[in-house]
Amino acid sequence: MTTEPRTLMEAVRCFADPDVALKHMVDLRWPSGVHCPACGRTDVRFIPTRRIWECKEKHAKRQFSAKVGTIFEDSALPLDKWFVAIWMVANSKNGISSYEMGRAIGVTQKSAWHMNHRIRLAMKFGSIEKMVGDVELDETFVGGKAINRHKGDPKNGPGTHGKTAVIGAVKRGGGAIAAVIENTDTATLDGFAHAVVSPKATSVSTDEHAGYRHLGRTFNHGVVRHGAGEYVRDHHHTNSIEGFWALLKRSIKGTYISVEPFHLGRYVDEHVFRFNERHGNDADRFASAVSRIFGRRLTYRELTRNAAIATAT
């Protein structure tokens, strides 16, 4: 592809040509030349009528497409719709609902919902480099207010009852890491801190939650006591991570309206991706998202399995 798209309109026009979309995919996946995903042979034959390749070695799955081994695998949707969908998810500040995506690219809401979750899977961070510098840690709870729930809703209860806990860390001026957690006990919060923050970090700031009480053994730990009306102590504060939570909850409340706990992790991954790529332009975020589609797959059965389990229980 001679010219990379810089805007959504350019992306739509560019990837509308199936040859351009396929070439873009091939260049991303096989920069050194197409080879068989099963055996690795490079002497493969392209079948233009079906837009797939065939390996000269006789073995199972000798015919393959550029989608094999990616989030696109087994999808009947063409690459132009996939690339435009990725562009929209990567660059929509508050996310994009499956209804809006379906209308925009001409697929059903069900298909768009599955596409959205596959793209979120691609956005999930893999191995991480531990944070240094000034780091803020905090936990939050995601879920509707009890006053807005039906009286018979089993999630009803005081405080955080029925809500899902999420833990996160933000490096000031840098990136974020966040994950859904089962509970907010000391072992969970302390374990997350040690997993994502380097002992060489300049400082670690938290609120007064008791689960962080042992961090001082490893880090230069500062506590901001919100319960006492304190928001800054020396250079310690949690304003950055709280701003991160505000953006996450705004997208859930304003765009997705309601998110089931068993899907929340992928919405968190989507938000982390956009936050960490916020300094780039639209084309940069698109390129970053597309570079992560390989080696990951999410079938519709896997996507709906947790929903079926939750209904049964």
pLDDT in tens, 62-114: 999 999 999 999 999 999 999 999 999 999 999 999 999 999 999 999 999 99
C-alpha 307: how far from its chain's center?
19
**Tens-place pLDDT, residues 268-277:** 999 999 999 9
What is the per-residue pLDDT for 144? 66
For residue 154, pLDDT over 90 is answered with no
For residue 232, pLDDT over 80 is answered with: yes
Domain at 134-259: CATH code:
3.30.420
Q: What is the reported pLDDT for 312?
A: 43
At residue 311, the pLDDT reads 44
**Residues 262/310, Cβ–Cβ less than 8 Å:** yes
| Cα dist from 87 to 38, 243, 282, 285, whole Å | 30, 24, 8, 8
Cα separation, 104 vs 88, in Å, equals 10
Report the pLDDT value the prediction gives residue 305, as an integer from 0 to 100.
85
Strand partners, 168: 138, 178
Q: What percent of the chain has pLDDT over 70?
A: 91
How far apart are alpha carbons 227 and 84 in whole angstroms?
A: 46
Which pLDDT score, from 0 to 100, does residue 39 have?
93
CA 292 to chain centre: 11
C-alpha 226/C-alpha 242 separation (Å) is 12
Cα–Cα distance, 63 to 77 (Å, whole number):
19
Which residues make Cβ contacts (< 8 Å) with residue 17, sequence separation at least 6? Answer: 80
pLDDT at residue 145 greater than cutoff 70: no
Three-class DSSP category at 247? helix
Confidence of residue 126 (pLDDT cuts 50, 70, 90): confident
CB 70, CB 294: distance < 8 Å: yes
Instruction: Read off the pTM.
Output: 0.89
Token digits for 192?
A: 């997350």
Determine the Cα–Cα distance for residues 104 and 85; give it in Å rounded to an integer.
Answer: 9
| pLDDT band of 1, cuts 50, 70, 90 | very low
Element (H, E) at 276: helix 264-276
pLDDT recorded at residue 313: 35
> Per-domain residue ranges for the chain?
134-259
pLDDT value, residue 155:
55
What is the pLDDT of the chain when averaged over all its residues?
A: 91
